Amino acid sequence: MNRRILYIGNNLTKKTKYNSTIIVLSNLLKGEGYSVIVSSDKTNKLLRLIAMCFSLLKNRNKIDYVLIDTFSTINFYYALIISQLSRIFKLKYISILHGGNLPKRLSKNKFFSDLIFNNSYKNIAPSNYLKSSFEDKGYKTIFIPNVVEIEDYKFKLRKSIGPKLFWVRAFKEIYNPTLAIKVLDILKKEYPEAKLCMVGPFVDDSYQNCLQLVSKLKLEDSVEFTNVLLKEDWHKKSENFDIFINTTNFDNTPVSVMEAMALGLPLVSTNVGGMPYLIDNEIDGLLVEKDDALKMTSKILDVLKGDYPKMSEKAREKVETFAWEFVKNKWFKILK
């Protein structure tokens, strides 16, 4: 039977140029014969919510499941409204959990959280971190990792590693991009030729803060800001860099980190949220406390000294287990 799905989430690929999980998963499900409607691609948040509600009302008699991307910020309320509309129309809805700060949301809004997650058909966590956090609060949760289309990632084994740092994320306060600038400044004390490339959209004041810090530290010749790049473009650019740094203060299981692992970039990340569930410290990546530029720089120096020669290969091996071939049967079991 051809199962029909309405997938609700932030379909902002046209704006960000990034293929978000909603696009990746919906396309893979379509490829397996599922009928999938995606909503919404409106950039205005109110219009997006209205479009989501309209899609559900319009298609309520044609669909078998509603998939809802569920975040911890204001988008949490999209999930609340769509889930309760689904209940009214007796539709099976599946919450797909995103956002490293969701566990805090569970405590802050227990009543709303109960409405969403106790009444869902299934709750899906793309990290064991979120699975554990939700189960601690009594919500039954299934772990299904975000899919990495591994065939799109060309692995580069770096036989010699230089002080060339790569950062990919939105310029947003919770992702702490200024930490990358501070790390570069310290690194240059030992490696004056050190460089940093920062890829991602400018979302809040973080980009201006980075520019000011670069100016203050006189690093203009050592830092490149690319703004948003298409996935294939930043993959190509990453070939000229040797170490991926993830500076976030909150996190789940970021796709950009998984992509870096697939591409062969040795990884140094803050030890927050889902990162210790994704990274085996000193095996397939290195973890340091958040907002600690000295510790992060120290680990980068260890990589440059050649202390972890097999780390990038181990990381690639791990990410290969997130390929669709390994993940799809878990979705088939739910969407039966």
The structural domains of the chain, with segments of one domain joined by +, span: 4-145+323-334, 150-320
Contact 72, 99 (CB under 8 A): yes
| Residue 37 CA from chain centroid, whole number | 22
The reported pLDDT for the residue numbered 130 is 93
pLDDT for the residue 254: 87
Structure confidence at residue 242 (pLDDT) = 98
* pLDDT band for position 20 (cuts 50, 70, 90): confident
% of residues, the chain, pLDDT over 90 = 87
pLDDT-derived band of residue 99, with 50, 70 and 90 as boundaries?
confident
How does DSSP classify residue 152? G
According to the model, what pLDDT value does residue 18 have? 59
Contact at 8 Å (CB) between 181 and 210?
Answer: yes
State the CATH architecture for 150-320: 3-Layer(aba) Sandwich (3.40)
pLDDT value of residue 186: 98
Q: Is the predicted pLDDT of residue 172 greater than 70, yes or no?
A: yes
Average pLDDT (139-156) is 94
In terms of pLDDT, which residue wins out, 253 or 331? 331
CA distance 54 to 308: 52
* Residue 11 confidence class, pLDDT cut points 50, 70, 90: confident
Distance CA 230, CA 17 (A): 6
60-84 pLDDT, tens digit per residue, is 999 999 999 999 888 899 999 999 9
Classified as helix, coil or strand, 123 is strand
Does 110 score more than 60 pLDDT?
yes
State the average pLDDT over residues 127-152: 94
Q: Using the predicted structure, report yes or no on whether residue 14 has a pLDDT greater than 70.
A: no
The pLDDT of residue 19 is 64
The rounded distance, in Å, linking the Cα atoms of 130 and 109 is 16
What pLDDT band is residue 15 in, cutting at 50, 70 and 90?
Answer: low
The values of phi and psi at residue 127, to 5°, are -145, 150
- What is the value of pTM for the model shown? 0.87
The answer to whether 4-145+323-334 and 150-320 have equal CATH topology is: yes
Out of 6-20, 161-175, 312-326, which region has the weakest mean confidence (pLDDT)? 6-20
* Averaged pLDDT score across all residues of the chain: 94
The fourth-level CATH superfamily of domain 4-145+323-334 is Glycogen Phosphorylase B; (3.40.50.2000)
DSSP, res 168:
E
Torsion sign across C-alpha atoms 123, 129, 133, 136? positive
The mean per-residue pLDDT over the stretch 91-119 comes to 94
pLDDT at 26 over 70: yes
| Per-residue pLDDT tens over the stretch 209-265 | 999 999 999 999 999 999 999 889 999 999 999 999 999 998 888 889 999 999 999
Residue 320 confidence (pLDDT): 96
d(CA 197, CA 199): 7
Gap between the Cα atoms of 63 and 276, Å rounded = 37
Please give the pLDDT value at position 13: 66
Instruction: For residue range 275-321, list pLDDT tens digits in order.
Output: 999 999 999 999 999 999 999 999 999 999 999 999 999 999 999 99
Cβ contacts of residue 64 below 8 Å, gap of 6+?
A: 3, 4, 5, 92, 335
Query: What pLDDT, on the 0 to 100 scale, is given for residue 103?
Result: 92
Please tell me the predicted confidence (pLDDT) of residue 269.
Answer: 98
Output the pLDDT for position 17: 56
Question: How far apart are the two ends of the chain, measured CA to CA in Å?
Answer: 9
Q: Residue 196: beta bridge partners?
A: 165, 223
pLDDT tens figures, 34-70: 999 999 999 899 999 999 999 999 999 999 999 999 9
